[in-house]
Amino acid sequence: MTEYAVRTQTDLKRLIRAAGACDDTIAECVKSIGVDAVVHAVMREVLDRTDLRGCPAAEVLFRLHGGAPPQSQGSDVVIRVADDGTVALATMSTASVTATVAQSLPEVVRSVFGPRGSASTATRVLQWTAESSPETFGRPDPAFETVRRLLDSIDRSYHASLAELCVRSGSDKWGVHQYPQHYERHFQTVRDRPLTILEIGVGGYDNPRRGGESLRMWKRYFPRAAVYGIDIIDKSSLSESRMTILRADQADPVDLARVLEITGPLDIIIDDGSHVSAHVIATFALLFPALRSGGMYVIEDLQTSYWPHFGGKAGVYDDMETSVGFLKAMVDGLNHAEIDNRAQASTDACVKGMHFYHNLAFLEKGENRDEGAPSWLRGL
């Protein structure tokens, strides 16, 4: 990562945290980062979230001001949707502006990056440029759909389901697998938090310019999160706002230590890497300590635990050198206080819950220090 990229991501994290506070706090953060930089960051996020496929061509001017009155410091930015479907962000409008959206910048920042339910349109003024005639009055302009989708991306940050975002992003977590239903069960309650997420495995195999579909899905599902991905192939060129890709071998302690220096403590870790049992187990040992209390560690594609090609063992179901055997032993750890003469494992006291689905496991980090049954009851 370049120094500029690090600084930009840091500023974005500051802005996201400020978006959950009052207008004065947001305004102070905007002033510190710079109005133009904030406006462009917010509108790039809007563009990233908006599915404009099939929309008519349009040029929408966003005039984002500092608050009331509208003459206070602000900045203009234009979203251009061409006839061929390409989308661009510009600073200059033309005579062909379809609509102008004027709104308070702090209000837009909160709507785009704030917690669930905080979106507001109190200061928004929408003006259509074209004058209607008696023949066209009351008939929807084709460009209405383009503007609607853009504004919905501001006002309804949490509307799309994970399965929808899977399909839009091209992730194989839906269709080939049926993971979104399980992910949403565990993640929907924390969707609006400023999380730090790490996914192991970027996709695209050996091609450095392919992959990142699932990372973009997570970025869109968690609109306030910083999303990181690692891959043994250098795919850093795929990085974008709120999504940073680092080269690292998932089983190399030196590589992972370097990754954690960049990410800091993690809230969610998803292992969708090599699926080799030895790698899965080694990665867990190295990364689980960096997971915050209350965080979730997810391991995908556990079917490989039964396939010898991936270090699994067909017909042997409790070998701790396989991914599933390793996890089964951790189930005993959940009940460690009830088991006499058991050698204590390092995870016994900090794995609070485990949830298993087809080829998928969730491990919840938290205090597991409940006392066991009284000794007199065990002897009955």
Give the pLDDT score at 143: 86
Q: What is the residue type of 64? A: L
Same domain for 131 and 17: yes
In angstroms, the Cα distances linking 347 to 231, 280, 327 are 26, 15, 11
Question: If residue 352 lies in a helix (H) or strand (E), which one and from where to where?
Answer: strand 351-357
Distance CA 193, CA 20 (A): 9
Same domain for 143 and 178: no
The shares of helix, strand and coil residues in the chain, as percent rounded to the nearest 5, are 40, 20, 40
Give the pLDDT score at 70: 46
DSSP reduced 3-state for 379: coil
Same domain for 18 and 141: yes
Cβ–Cβ < 8 Å for 95, 134: no
Q: What is the residue type of 359? A: N
The tokens describing 331, both together, are: 């189930």
Residue 361 CA to chain centroid, in angstroms? 19
Give the pLDDT score at 304: 96
Among all chains, which residue has been given the structure tokens 């998803």?
270
In angstroms, the Cα distances linking 5 to 243, 260, 261, 286 are 11, 17, 15, 26
Give the pLDDT score at 95: 72
Distance CA 283, CA 295 (A): 16
Same domain for 197 and 145: no
Question: If residue 150 lies in a helix (H) or strand (E), which one and from where to where?
Answer: helix 144-155
In angstroms, the Cα distances linking 199 to 20, 171, 297 are 25, 13, 10
Query: Whole-model pTM?
Result: 0.92
Q: How many CB atoms lie within 10 A of CB 168?
A: 16
Give the pLDDT score at 182: 98
The residue out of 155, 179, 211 marking a domain boundary is 155
Same domain for 166 and 31: no
Q: What is the CATH number for 372?
A: 3.40.50.150
Out of 65, 182, 275, 279, the active site residue is 275
The tokens describing 330, both together, are: 């951790």
Residue 71 CA to chain centroid, in angstroms? 35
In angstroms, the Cα distances linking 260 to 3, 11, 154, 250, 256 are 17, 19, 32, 12, 6
Give the pLDDT score at 9: 85
Q: Is 336 a catalytic residue?
A: no
The residue out of 137, 155, 173 marking a domain boundary is 155
DSSP reduced 3-state for 143: coil
Q: What is the residue type of 363? A: L
Among all chains, which residue has been given the structure tokens 């915050």?
292
Distance CA 271, CA 301 (A): 9
Per-residue burial over 257-272, b if 16 or more Cβ lie within 10 Å, else e, is: eebbeebeebbbbbbb
Domain count, the chain: 2
Same domain for 181 and 140: no
Same domain for 38 and 88: yes
Same domain for 247 and 276: yes
The residue out of 121, 155, 189 marking a domain boundary is 155
Q: At what angle do helices 105-113 and 35-49 cross, to 10 degrees?
A: 40
Same domain for 193 and 149: no
Q: Mind listing the pLDDT tens digit of every residue in the chain (380 residues)?
A: 666 666 688 899 999 999 999 999 999 999 999 999 999 999 999 999 999 988 989 999 999 998 655 445 789 999 999 888 789 998 877 778 999 999 999 999 999 999 999 999 999 999 998 665 555 556 667 889 999 999 999 999 999 999 999 999 999 999 989 999 999 999 999 999 999 999 999 999 999 999 999 999 999 999 999 999 999 999 999 999 999 999 999 999 999 999 999 999 999 999 999 999 999 999 999 999 999 999 999 999 999 999 999 999 888 888 999 999 999 999 999 999 888 888 889 999 999 999 999 999 999 999 999 887 777 776 65
Cβ–Cβ < 8 Å for 66, 34: no
Query: Nearest to residue 174, comparing CAs of 212, 201, 211, 214?
Result: 214
| Residue 17 CB burial class (10 angstroms; 0-12, 13-18, ≥19) | middle
Same domain for 132 and 177: no
Domain region containing 63:
3-155
